[in-house]
């Protein structure tokens, strides 16, 4: 059930990202460090969604705003930068 919820969050943010293509100087949200922000970064953040610093599935790179937890705010930043390439 929880995984299903995450799927819909990812889907919603993907659609949101497509509708708002904003240009930024640096790429925040490039979780896997491949130089672009795409669905793989959202998927990585989704895998760590709800985790806190110190948890086994916590991914520091997915904690985009570096507040010690991976939540909707991190996904929002990734979604906002979706499609950006460095
Ligand atoms: Ca990436
Ligand atoms: Ca965070």
Could you confirm whether domain 2-80 is CATH 1.10.1330.10? yes
Q: Are 44 and 31 in contact (CB under 8 A)?
A: yes
Instruction: Please give all residues whose CB falls under 5 A of ion ligand 1, grouped by chain where several chains appear.
Output: 30, 32, 34, 41
pLDDT tens digit sequence for 53-64: 999 999 999 999
CA-angle at 16, arms to 69 and 6, nearest 5°: 45
pLDDT tens digit sequence for 65-79: 999 999 999 999 999
Give the number of the ligand closest to the Cα of residue 59. 2
Q: Are 45 and 70 in contact (CB under 8 A)?
A: yes
Residues 36, 71: Cα–Cα separation, whole Å: 21
Q: Choose between 8 and 23: higher pLDDT.
A: 8
CA of 30 relative to ligand 2 center, distance in Å: 14
pLDDT above 90 (res 31) = yes
DSSP-assigned letter for residue 62: G
CA of 86 relative to ligand 2 center, distance in Å: 22
């Amino acid at each position: 059930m929880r995984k299903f919820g995450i799927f819909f969050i990812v889907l919603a943010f993907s659609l949101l990202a497509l509708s708002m293509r904003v240009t930024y100087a640096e790429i925040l949200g490039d979780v896997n460090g491949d130089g672009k922000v795409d669905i793989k970064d959202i998927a990585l953040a989704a895998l760590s969604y709800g985790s806190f610093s110190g948890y086994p599935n916590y991914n520091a790179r997915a904690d985009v705003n570096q507040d010690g937890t991976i939540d909707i705010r991190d996904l929002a930043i990734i979604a906002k930068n979706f499609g950006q390439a460095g």
